[in-house]
Amino acid sequence: MDAIELLSRYADGERDFKGVSLRGIILSTNSYRPNTVPTLGLANIREPQNRPHLIGADLSNADLSEAHLSVVNLSKANLTGANLTGANLSGASLSGTILTGANLSRVNLEGAHLNWANLQEADLNHGNLKSADFSSAILLEAVLTQACLIKAYLIKANLRQAILKNADLTQANLKDVDLSGADLSQATIVRANLSGANLIGADLSKAQMLKANLRHADLTDAFLNSASLLEADLNEANLSRANLSKANLSKTYLRNVCLNGAHLSGINLSGADLGGIDLRQKLLTGINLAGAYLSEANLAGALLMDANLSSSNLSSANLSKACLINADLRNTHLGNVNLSEANLMGANLSKADLRGANLKGAILANAEIKGAQLQGAILPNGKVYT
């Protein structure tokens, strides 16, 4: 069947094209005949002049591989199980279209409209989805391995258990998206908006998330091991039981974040904003917090052996009973900090600001305090330094 026959039959009222072979078909503005094909465009979509229409057509299990369907209006069509391998659908309208189980590998959907579309279990691997609109679309268990989703719109989309391994989501809008249980390992999510996203149990291991917005995101039980979140915004995010081992969170924003039960071994938090964070009794051995902002943080009973806290700001923080054996606290701001009963054996406190600090009962054996400021500090013996 060629383009003219397809559009003529559609214009005559036929809608059943199940299983039809349209491999390599070219539907363009030149295929469109204004005297036979009705204008049935959706009100919220701007229609290009002479756009071909197949709105509501049943193309389930049809072969549309390598088809040229650029700017075609396929809104509310049924493409269940269709073969669209290598098809060009750039700028096409697929709003509300059913594409469950469809093969869209290597498809070109750049700038296409797929809002409210159903792509459950669809195969979109290696697809070009740049700037495509998937708002409120269903992509449950869809395969998007190595797909290009640069600047794509996925607001409130359902991507539960979807596979996005090695996908490029640079500057994509994923606000309020559901990515629970999804595989985003090694994905590029640079400057993407994931605010309010559901990432419960998602795999983000080795993902690149430079300057990503994850405010209010739920990352409970997520895997972020060896991920890079440099300068990312995680304010008020939920990272309960998340695996952050060896992750790079340098210069990240972590105000009011929940880290209950999170795995933080080998994490890099240098220069991060952790003001007021609750890290009580956390295992933070060897952690890098150099230059971090930890003012008013609660680190009571935390295990910070061999931790790097040099040049960090711990003013008014609670480090009572914390273990800081061999910790690096050079040039650290510890004004009014609570270090009562803390173990600072072998710690380096040279040039640290300890003015007004509480060191009552602290262990300072073999600690280096050369050049430290101690005015008004309560010493281990309970006396005030003057």
pLDDT digits (tens, 9 = 90+) for 308-341: 999 999 999 999 999 999 999 999 999 999 999 9
Under 8 Å between Cβ of 328 and 308: yes
Rounded mean pLDDT of 41-63? 73
Cα separation of 67 and 87, whole Å? 5
Looking at residue 314, what is its pLDDT? 98
Instruction: Give yes or no: residues 231 and 278 share one domain.
Output: no
Q: How far apart are CA 378 and CA 115, in angstroms?
A: 63
pLDDT at 24 over 70: yes
Range 244-254 burial, b when 16+ CB lie within 10 A, else e: bbbbbbbbbbb
Residue 94 included in any domain = no
Check: CB of residue 261 under 8 Å from CB of residue 281.
no
Whether 96 has a pLDDT exceeding 90, the answer reads yes
Determine whether 174 is exposed, middle or buried from the number of CB atoms within 10 Å of its CB (0-12, 13-18, 19+). buried
Answer whether residue 179 is part of any domain: yes
Task: Name the helix (H) or strand (E) containing 11.
Answer: helix 3-11
Same domain, 185 and 222: yes
Residue 378 and residue 283 in one domain: yes
- Same domain, yes or no: 273 and 337: yes
Residue 218 lies in a domain: yes
Both tokens assigned to 236 = 């008020």
Among 210, 228, 254, identify where a domain stops. Answer: 254
In the predicted model, is pLDDT for residue 369 greater than 70?
yes
369 in any annotated domain:
yes
| Start-to-end Cα distance in the chain | 95
As a whole number of angstroms, the distance between CA 125 and CA 4 comes to 31
Let me know whether 231 and 296 are in one domain.
no
Query: Dihedral, CA atoms, 312, 318, 323, 326, nearest 10 degrees?
Result: 20
pLDDT of residue 64: 98
Same domain, yes or no, for 275 and 219?
A: no
What are the pLDDT digits (tens) for 259-272?
Answer: 999 999 889 999 99
- Model pLDDT for residues 199-238, shown as the tens digit of each residue: 999 999 999 999 999 999 999 999 999 999 999 999 999 9
Mean pLDDT of the chain: 94
Please state the domain count of the chain.
2
Considering the domain boundaries, does residue 72 fall inside one?
Answer: no
Domain span at residue 372?
Answer: 269-386
Triad 281, 287, 291: Cα angle to 5°: 110
The greatest distance separating any two alpha carbons of the chain, rounded to the nearest whole angstrom, comes to 97
Phi, psi of 5 (to 5 degrees): -65, -45
- pLDDT, position 227: 98
pLDDT at 51: 79
Tell whether 240 and 289 lie within a shared domain: no
pLDDT of residue 29: 62
Per-residue pLDDT, 45: 40
pLDDT category, 39, cuts 50, 70, 90? very low
CB 246 within 8 A of CB 225: yes
CA dist 280 to 130, 164, 276, 304, Å? 44, 35, 11, 11
As a whole number of angstroms, the distance between CA 152 and CA 127 comes to: 12
pTM for this one?
A: 0.90
Q: What pLDDT is recorded for position 38?
A: 41
CATH code where residue 283 lies: 2.160.20.80
Range 152-159, long-range pairs (CB < 8 A, 24+ positions): 153/115
Does residue 5 sit within a domain? Answer: no
Assigned domain for 365 exists: yes
* In a domain? residue 8: no
Same domain membership, residue 250 and residue 199: yes
Dihedral angle computed from the Cα positions of residues 31, 36, 40 and 45, in that order, rounded to the nearest 10 degrees: 30
* Residue 258, pLDDT above cutoff 80: yes
Query: What mean pLDDT comes out for the span 33-55?
Result: 53
CA distance 227 to 223: 9
124-175 pLDDT, tens digit per residue, is 999 999 999 999 999 999 999 999 999 999 999 999 999 999 999 999 999 9
Query: Sign of torsion, CA 18 22 27 32?
Result: negative
Mean pLDDT for 57-80 is 97
